[in-house]
Chains A and B, each alone.
Chain A
Amino acid sequence: MVDIYDFYDKMDRNKIMLSFKGDITSELLTSILQIMESKLDNLQEEPKVKKKVYNVLVECLQNLYHHMDEVSFSDDSNEVVSRSAIFMIGKVDNEYSIITGNYILTSNVENLKVKLDRINEMTKEELKEYYKEILNNDTFSEKGGGGLGMIDIARKSGQKLNYNFMVADDKYSFFSLNIKISN
């Protein structure tokens, strides 16, 4: 049997306000964002912090949404299997954590890692310039935004992108991202 108390205890100790595991749909994100907005209002969070948390949350969750199709595949019985994602939002003292986890193709790990490391090496000013460069690049028109999301997360959180990759099987890796926002 699943030890629900174990889940409860871990979430409680990490001060998790909200967590979800499953398929990421547009409707789900609408609901989650509404819930988080009212939680932030209830905490009477400073407008400045509230906006930062909300903005970073939107980018993190929409990243998950845009990469869901990358991990859909047909199994032996030709049934489409979609690997779900997980996210958690917690608050310890005055610091918010937005933690996401999702499967990506192992063949895409290196590219993503290079991108994240490049962002992490940049100063605030360099990030601003890089953001404008990518924004103004005419070849960029895809749904997700060609890495603009990660640059925006780094700019708004003002912290390094804390990430990890774990090989899951012969084809997929599990990518996790932990973003902290403090006031």
Chain B
Amino acid sequence: METLLIEGSPKTPTIKFDWDKGFLEIKGRSIPENSIEFYKPLVDWLDKYSGKPQKVTDVNIHLEYFNTSSSKCILDVFKKLESIHKGGSSEVVINWHYEEDDEDMLEAGEDYQAIINIPFKMVLSEG
């Protein structure tokens, strides 16, 4: 299965979904006007991944900004991961990165944590 690589832009994050390593990363800012289009390849990739996941799936969300249009799409990504985790074929961990003085980003991570049944780790990033 191929690694999904999407280069970041001023409104969209850099995506690296590495099947070999079971390493998934969303990094940068996610503020497109219409997010569904951008997130579709990620959800499609996860559909394929769910058939043949690694034993451990290490998910890293490292967002500087995200808009409400993206928030629902991010939840869709987490729901896919939740079903993989629940199925028992892979142990999924979500590392939610936030910067020291960014309480809003920490709180956003906690919102997802309350909705999704996967272990969440809140990771404080160095400025």
Interface assignment of A131: CB less than 8 Å from any CB of chain B: yes
- Asked whether, in the complex, the Cβ of B68 is within 8 Å of the Cβ of A52, the reply is no
Docked pose: A135 CA to B34 CA in angstroms: 16
Docked pose: A54 CA to B67 CA in angstroms: 10
- Asked whether, in the complex, the Cβ of B33 is within 8 Å of the Cβ of A62, the reply is yes
Chain A residues within 8 Å of chain B by Cβ, number: 32
Contact partner, A47, options B69, B71, B102, Cβ 8 Å: B102
Would you call the interface of chain A mostly helix, strand, loop, or mixed?
A: helix
Query: Which residues from 17 to 73 on chain B have a C-beta closer than 8 Å to any C-beta of chain A?
Result: 31, 33-34, 36, 65, 67-69, 71-72
- Asked whether, in the complex, the Cβ of B10 is within 8 Å of the Cβ of A65, the reply is no
Chain B residues within 8 Å of chain A by Cβ, number: 24
- Residues on B with C-beta less than 8 A from A141 are 36, 72
Nearest chain B CB to A158's CB is how many angstroms away? 10
Query: Which one of A25-33, A91-99, A104-112 is at the interface?
Result: A25-33
Compute the total of residue contacts between A and B using a CB distance below 8 Å.
69
Contact partner, A148, options B33, B71, B115, Cβ 8 Å: B71
Nearest chain A CB to B110's CB is how many angstroms away? 9
- Asked whether, in the complex, the Cβ of B102 is within 8 Å of the Cβ of A48, the reply is yes
Docked pose: A149 CA to B31 CA in angstroms: 12
Residue of B nearest to A145 (CB): B68
Interface assignment of A39: CB less than 8 Å from any CB of chain B: no
Interface assignment of A140: CB less than 8 Å from any CB of chain B: yes
Nearest chain A CB to B116's CB is how many angstroms away? 9
Interface assignment of B86: CB less than 8 Å from any CB of chain A: no
- Asked whether, in the complex, the Cβ of A34 is within 8 Å of the Cβ of B10, the reply is yes
Docked pose: A12 CA to B103 CA in angstroms: 33
Contact partner, A59, options B10, B67, B107, Cβ 8 Å: B67
Query: Which residues from 55 to 105 on chain B have a C-beta closer than 8 Å to any C-beta of chain A?
Result: 65, 67-69, 71-72, 75, 99, 101-105
Interface assignment of A160: CB less than 8 Å from any CB of chain B: no
Interface assignment of A143: CB less than 8 Å from any CB of chain B: yes
Nearest chain B CB to A5's CB is how many angstroms away? 36
The interface of chain A, by Cβ under 8 A from chain B, is 26, 29-30, 33-34, 46-48, 51-52, 54-55, 58-59, 62, 65-66, 128, 131-132, 135-136, 140-141, 143-145, 148-149, 152, 155-156
Q: Which 7 A-B pairs have the closest CB atoms?
A: A148-B68, A145-B68, A48-B101, A149-B68, A152-B68, A58-B67, A58-B31
